[in-house]
Structures are given as structure tokens and as C-alpha cells.
Structure 1
Amino acid sequence: MIYDLGLYPDQLSQIERLCQREKRNRKRILCTIRTFQYDIYPSHISDLRMAAYRSIIIQEMLRDIKLTRQYRQKHSIQNNKNYIRNKNEKISKRNFNKTSTTTIIWMDPQYHFIDSKHSIIGQLQSKILHQSAILSWPIEQPTSALTHPRMFEYFHTTKENFYFHRMIRPDHLMITINDKTWKPFEWGIMLPWVRCALTSDCIAPLGSQWRSTCRLDKKPHYRYSGCHHYDMSALNVVLGIAFNFSSTPYSARLSQRFFWPFNRPMPIEKQNSQDDNEDDDIMFEYQFEDGEDQQTNNVPGRYDLVMNDDDIPEEFFDQSHSQKKKSSGFLFSSSSSSTSSGSS
């Protein structure tokens, strides 16, 4: 899925051609293009420097996947041969005990997949599913250095909690959830992240500036650098609260990268070697540190400390408002029932 955030017509046509390839006189759809609907969201979302669209797009995808799964399950109950009727005319179920898994990989357009690294995705899926539901790659700066102090106030926390909390980069994210972790992730991570994106006072507090005043040489390094990272800052504050101010559960190692920037040449050793243990880094803006994986059973579950369902604007929350603003649909279901099983 490719989201159009404001492409020129010729750019859009070029991408459309790339998404449809001819093979044996038949078109193969390799990707789908969806235009982001700025008009149904607050005006500040259109400021691309904030990247406030990121959390909204991910939640739109989760919403659509959930609706598709519910639709498929409804029809599978009616049509699948694994369902039989017993003497009491009750529906019994066979071989539907497996919990379905959904994976979303977010990548900003400056990155591409590395063909030889596709196997890493499968390895990470298992880790993410059993450990954190979300995963990204860290930078050395703590969250307090790149987050305006007023954002911490908005989340009812303090900057001191984030002095040693390493930030992760949201321009490449991997999310893997199943029926058991869907609701904790959606309500514990996505809801507060989206809510902040929709609220200008949260994502862009008064006095916050974009990169022009970065002072990363300030000591101690956890002091606010004067450079606020908007959407990136919001996600890291949400994750810090959800995971008890430790970034270890959702941080990947450099050797687990399966992507690379288009404008950077692949290192020779990476092109000719299958060794994933080399952690040379020319990819990122900051110096990384590679740490050992620590297996935990943490799942985002502290959502009661972050937000509740009354805090998000109603038109983005409940299906009952679709008549007022039909084009927006809803981002979060108000149903308390668990996510339905199905394939995605």
C-alpha cells in the first residue's frame, strides 16, 4: 500500500505504472495507491514536517484489516466446509483454533527492501509477537533531548522519566499482532499516538521548533536540545509509558536491518556477505549501539495510564458518527469484544 501525501500528477502516473506490470498479457497488481484525505483531519496534519499522518495511516490500515477479517469470518462461518451442524442445529467448529497474525511494515519513501535480507522479517515477526508488538531501530539520543518539555506535560509524565530512554526512529517500523495482543496494542499504543497527532497542542507544543536550533552537543546529553521531533517524539513518549521507560523490548539490532536508503550505496561487505553480525553504520544520522536481545514477556498493557476512550474526538472513534462524516469512517471501534479471527 502506497499513500499519496501530495504527489504531482506525473509522479502519480509513474508510480501507477510501476504498480501494474504486464506478465503473459495479464496485468499484475504489485501495489495499491491510496490518497490521504487531509480534509477530514485537523489542518495541522497537512504540515508534512510533523509527520502527524504516520500514526493515522497505520491506524487506518489496522481498521481496514480488522473489518476485512470480520467480513471473511462472517462468510467463512456460512460457507466453510470445516463447519458442520450437529443434531441440535448448533454450529460446531473444526481446525479454527489457530490465532491469526497481522504484520504491518511502515517504511518512509527514502528506503527500499534489501532482497537478501527478507528472511530477517520472518525472524523478527516471532520476536515482536511475543515481546512487544512493535519494533524499530534506536538512536543514541534519549527521548528527553529531542522532545519539547510541554509534550511530557500533555501525557501527564515528566522529562526526568526519559533521561535515559533511547529513542527509536518511526520512519521504519514493524508491527506484528494477533488476536490476543491486538486490543492492548491498539488501545495502549495507537490510541494515545493518534490522539496526540490529532491535537496540535500535543504534537507541536507552543515554542517547539523543527531542527533549526538542534544542540546535540549540550551536556548532559539528556537536556532538551531545542529540537523537537513531533511525531517521533510522541511515539517515543507513548512507548516509554507503556514499557516502563525501557526501550529494550521494542528495539532491534543493526544486524537485523532489512532496508536501506535509496541515496546511500550498499557497503561492499553487505553486498557480498551473508554475515548479519557486522554492525557498521553509514545508514543513520546518529551513532547506534548494538545490544543483546533480552527476552521478556512485555506486551503493551498499561494503556489505562495513558488514555481512555473518552479522550479522542468522537468522529474518529465511533461508527455511529459515520452518518455525520461518512468519508472519515472511524479509526477506533468502541466495541469491547476481542478482535475476530481470520486471515489478512
Structure 2
Amino acid sequence: MGLPQFPNGRCSLLLESPVNFTIVTGASKNHWCPLQAFLLTLNKTLKSLPEKIKPEIVVYDLGLSSAQRQELNQLRVEEGLFDELATFNYTKYPSFWNLKVNRGEYAWKAGIIHEVSKTHPGIILWMDSGDRVLPNFLANIVHFIKRNGFYSPTSSGDVRKWTHPGLFQYFHDDMEKYAEEPNCNGAFIGLDSDNRQVRESILEPFMSCALDKDCIAPEGSSRINHRQDQAVLTYLVLKNKFRCTDEGLAGLMIHKDGDCKSQIEDHRRQLGS
């Protein structure tokens, strides 16, 4: 499907009707710098979008310090960088979701997306705090997901390299059917929870798998041979005839955590000028 293009990096497409969507991210105290930079750069991007495609922005506290949480609330109230601060309730979920042990097997990401689908149904964009987006990408992707139900870019390697065989055993499926397919990218997951096919074939199975360690993190798996949430997502996408792609979708950058200090310093200089 062809995607609308936006000249000079700005959105010129006016959708026929307003599109409500939600951007969600989360961070613990060791990702405080990237979280701030994410919110600052996202705010710049959103200023270039028509009012009718402005999102609701939800930030999940995955283990911030009290001082960080206080400062984050100031960014919400004083600068309007996001709309809602939610505290992730680990006690509602299995103990292996504990972020301090193997990063909680990244299962909490499925939990957050599922929670947001209940509180903010419709188009949901999970974005890691290292993500950066240009206006044309954000406008394009909302349009794309509205029409197609799901989007995630690809990541390096293939299914064989980054999926432990135990996942296929769990689903009673054959790895060789998918082995050479590219992986989806857990850094950016976009879906429409109002799309019945997406809800039943991706969203709900993603959550169900995340609740069972034998599914999302089979015995013998590690970051050396498995990508937890990303591996499960990729399998569900391929099984249900969706696909992850980068084709025709410029303007998304991932793993930009390293620029967080410079982004924050630039913002402070602008405030002081």
C-alpha cells in the first residue's frame, strides 16, 4: 500500500476526520536521561502536526526515583510535554516481570500495551525512550495503522538468529516456516486495538504469552539467542500474515539514547535565551 508523503518534512495531509491516538513509553531510573530527551524531541515533532492528529501521551513509571518522578510531573504541568503519568503495578503480574531480574524478560512491555488498550483504545504507538520521529513519519504511520491495523519496523537478523526454539515448541509450530524472515522491532510497536483481527491475533496472544515465562522466555533462552517480547511479536505477526517493514516509511530513528544529554542541554539553553 502506498503511503502519503509530506514535503519538506512537514505534514500537508489533512485526514478526513480527527484521529485520536496514544503514544506510550516507559522508563526506570537508569533511563531517566533518555526519557527526558524523548519527551523534549517528541514535543518538537508534534508542533509540526495538524491539531486533528495530536496524540495523548502516556508515560509509565517503571521504577523512577521520587526525585525523578517529581521532576517528571513538573515537565507535565509546567511544559505540557505529556498528558498522563502512570505507575506500573508489578504486583498485578508474575514475579518474573521484575525489572531488576533479566529486565523482567521485557514482558512488562506487552502488559503496558494491553493496559493502554483498555484505558485508551484505538491506535496505540509504543515507543522506546531512545526513539526519535520526524513529523512526516508520525503522520504517515497513524494513517497507515488506521488502514492496516499494525506496524513495526524490522530489526537486524532473522527469526532463526533471535528466537529460541522453545517458543515454537510452546505454540506447537515449526521454526523452519519462519526461520529466514526478518524480525520485527520491539522499539516501536503500533497497532489499532479497535481492529478485531489485530486484537485477536496479535494484542491478546502477545499478552497471554507474556504472562507465561515458558512462552516469552523459554528455558535455555537469553539475550544471546532470544529477544523475548520482540521474538513473540515477530512470531505472531508472521503467523497471522502481517509483516514488519521499513519500506516507504522514512523518519523513524531508534536507539538514540546516547544523545540524551545534548538534547536536554539544548532545551535548557533555549529556555534561558
Structure-2 residue corresponding to 1:127 = 144
TM-score between both structures, scaled by the size of structure 2: 0.67
Change (3 A) 1:209 1:177: closer
In structure 1, C-alpha distance between the alignment counterparts of 2:81 and 2:226, rounded to whole Å: 39
Change (3 A) 1:154 1:13: same
The answer to whether the aligner puts 1:200 opposite 2:213 as a matched pair is yes
Q: Partner letter of residue 64 of structure 1? A: T
1:57-80 Cα distance to aligned partner (Å, 9 max, x none)? 1111111124xxxxxxxxxxxxxx
Deviation, 1:49, is 4.9
Q: Which has the higher helix share?
A: 2
Change (3 A) 1:195 1:39: same
Deviation, 1:199, is 0.2
The answer to whether the aligner puts 1:252 opposite 2:265 as a matched pair is no
Give SS of 1:21's match: helix
In structure 2, C-alpha distance between the alignment counterparts of 1:35 and 1:127, rounded to whole Å: 30
Say whether the 8 Å CA contact 1:138–1:168 is kept in structure 2.
Answer: yes
Change (3 A) 1:206 1:10: same
Q: Partner letter of residue 247 of structure 2? A: R
Within a 5 Å distance, the mapping from 1:107-122 to structure 2 comes to 107-113=127-133, 117-122=134-139
Structure-2 residue corresponding to 1:321 = none
The answer to whether the aligner puts 1:64 opposite 2:150 as a matched pair is no
Task: Please tell me whether Structure 1 or Structure 2 has the larger radius of gyration of its CA atoms.
Answer: 1
Which runs of no fewer than 5 residues in structure 2 stay unpaired?
Answer: 1-57, 261-273
Q: Partner letter of residue 68 of structure 2? A: Q
The answer to whether the aligner puts 1:21 opposite 2:78 as a matched pair is yes
1:267-297 Cα distance to aligned partner (Å, 9 max, x none)? xxxxxxxxxxxxxxxxxxxxxxxxxxxxxxx
Give SS of 2:106's match: coil
Change (3 A) 1:263 1:254: farther
Deviation, 1:259, is 4.3
In structure 1, C-alpha distance between the alignment counterparts of 2:213 and 2:90, rounded to whole Å: 15
In structure 1, C-alpha distance between the alignment counterparts of 2:130 and 2:219, rounded to whole Å: 30
**After the TM superposition, which parts of structure 1 deviate over 3 Å for at least 4 consecutive aligned residues?**
none
Change (3 A) 1:254 1:17: farther
TM-score between both structures, scaled by the size of structure 1: 0.54
Q: Partner letter of residue 111 of structure 1? A: D
Match 1:163 to one of 160, 179, 189: 179
Structure-2 residue corresponding to 1:233 = 231
Structure-1 residue corresponding to 2:66 = 9
Say whether the 8 Å CA contact 1:120–1:256 is kept in structure 2.
Answer: yes
Match 1:31 to one of 73, 83, 89: 83
1:86-139 Cα distance to aligned partner (Å, 9 max, x none)? xxxxxxxxxxxxxxxx321111122344xxx213222222323333x1112112
Give SS of 1:44's match: helix
In structure 1, C-alpha distance between the alignment counterparts of 2:193 and 2:110, rounded to whole Å: 16
Deviation, 1:55, is 1.1
